[in-house]
Structure 1
Amino acid sequence: MQSGISVSDELHEAFRNFVSDESIFCLPVTIKSESLSPLSPVPFASPNAFYPSLSQLSSVLEPKTPLYLLIRRPEGGSSSLVALTYIPSNAGVRAKTLFAATRATLARELGTEKFASTIFATDEDEVIGEEAWKERDAEKKGTAGGFRREDLMGEKERELEAVRRAEEEARSGTPSRDIGIGGTFNRANPFGGASVKMNVDDEVKQALEGLQQGGLVQLAIDVPTEAIKVAAAESGVDANSVQSHIPSSSPRYTLYHYPDSDVVIFIYTCPSGSSIKERMLYASSRMYAITMAGDQGLKISKKIEASSPDEITGERLHEEVHPPQDNGPSRGFARPRRPAPGTCEPKHRRYHSSLSSVGVAVSFSTTVYIRPSHSHKSAELPKARSIRCR
Structure 2
Amino acid sequence: MQSGITASPELHTAFQTLLSSPTQRGLLASISNETLVPITTIPSTSSNFTADLANLAPHLKPDAALYILLRRSPSTTSSPSSATATFVAITYIPDRAPVRQKTLFASTRLTLLRELGSENFGESLFVTEAEELSEAGWKRHEAHGNAERPLTEEERNLEGIKEAEAREAGGTGGRKRVGGGHLQINVGDGVEEAVRGLGEEGEGDNLVVLKIDIPTETLYLDSTTTATPSTLSSSISSTEPRYSFYRHPAPDSSSPILFIYTCPPSSKIKDRMIYAATKNAVTVLAEKDWGLPIARKLEASEPEEISAESIEAEFRPKEEVKSGFARPKRPGRR
User: Which residue in 2 is equivalent to 1:22?
Assistant: 22
2:218 is equivalent to residue 212 of structure 1 = no
Question: Contact conserved, 1:222 with 1:229, CA < 8 A, in 2?
Answer: no
Scaled by the length of structure 2, the TM-score of the pair is 0.58
User: Which residue in 2 is equivalent to 1:56?
Assistant: 55
Structure-2 change in CA distance of 1:123 and 1:105 (3 Å)? same
Q: Deviations over 1:333-377 (max 9, x none)?
A: xxxxxxxxxxxxxxxxxxxxxxxxxxxxxxxxxxxxxxxxxxxxx
**Counterpart secondary structure, 2:87:** strand
Query: What amino acid is the match of 2:125?
Result: I
Structure-2 change in CA distance of 1:102 and 1:277 (3 Å)? farther
Structure-2 change in CA distance of 1:138 and 1:123 (3 Å)? same
Q: Give the drift of 1:151.
A: 3.2
Q: Give the Cα separation in 1 of the matches to 2:257 and 2:196.
A: 22
Query: What amino acid is the match of 1:98?
Result: L
Q: Give the Cα separation in 1 of the matches to 2:248 and 2:298.
A: 22
Query: What amino acid is the match of 2:42?
Result: V
2:151 is equivalent to residue 140 of structure 1 = no
Pairing of 1:300-319 with structure 2 (within 5 A): 300=290
2:111 is equivalent to residue 126 of structure 1 = no
User: Which residue in 2 is equivalent to 1:5?
Assistant: 5
Rg: which structure is higher?
1
Q: Give the Cα separation in 2 of the matches to 1:285 and 1:163.
A: 20
Q: Give the Cα separation in 1 of the matches to 2:293 and 2:270.
A: 23
Q: Deviations over 1:52-95 (max 9, x none)?
A: 11111011111100000001111898871000000001111111
Q: Give percent identity, aligned residues only.
A: 32
Pairing of 1:1-390 with structure 2 (within 5 A): 2-46=2-46, 48-74=47-73, 80-128=86-134, 130-140=135-145, 148=148, 150-152=150-152, 158=154, 166=161, 170=165, 173-174=166-167, 183=168, 185-186=170-171, 189=176, 191=178, 192-195=181-184, 197=186, 208=195, 210-213=197-200, 229-235=242-248, 278-283=272-277, 299-300=289-290
Question: Contact conserved, 1:29 with 1:39, CA < 8 A, in 2?
Answer: yes
Structure-2 change in CA distance of 1:186 and 1:17 (3 Å)? same
| Aligned length in residues | 253
Q: Give the Cα separation in 2 of the matches to 1:308 and 1:136.
A: 49
Q: Give the drift of 1:234.
A: 2.5
Question: Contact conserved, 2:246 with 2:257, CA < 8 A, in 1?
Answer: no
Query: What amino acid is the match of 1:134?
Result: K
**Counterpart secondary structure, 2:140:** helix
Q: Give the Cα separation in 2 of the matches to 1:166 and 1:289.
A: 23
Query: What amino acid is the match of 2:22?
Result: E
Q: Give the Cα separation in 2 of the matches to 1:245 and 1:284.
A: 14
**RMSD of Structure 2 on Structure 1 (CA):** 4.7
Structure-2 change in CA distance of 1:93 and 1:164 (3 Å)? same
Structure-2 change in CA distance of 1:14 and 1:101 (3 Å)? same
Query: What amino acid is the match of 1:151?
Result: L
**Counterpart secondary structure, 2:69:** strand
Question: Contact conserved, 2:248 with 2:255, CA < 8 A, in 1?
Answer: no
Question: Contact conserved, 1:193 with 1:287, CA < 8 A, in 2?
Answer: no
Query: What amino acid is the match of 1:300?
Result: W
User: Which residue in 2 is equivalent to 1:337?
Assistant: none
Query: What amino acid is the match of 1:52?
Result: A
Q: Give the Cα separation in 1 of the matches to 2:110 and 2:142.
A: 22
Q: Give the Cα separation in 2 of the matches to 1:34 and 1:110.
A: 17
Query: What amino acid is the match of 1:82?
Result: V
Structure 2: gaps of 5 or more residues: 77-81, 218-239, 264-268, 300-334
Query: What amino acid is the match of 1:51?
Result: T
Question: Contact conserved, 2:244 with 2:259, CA < 8 A, in 1?
Answer: no
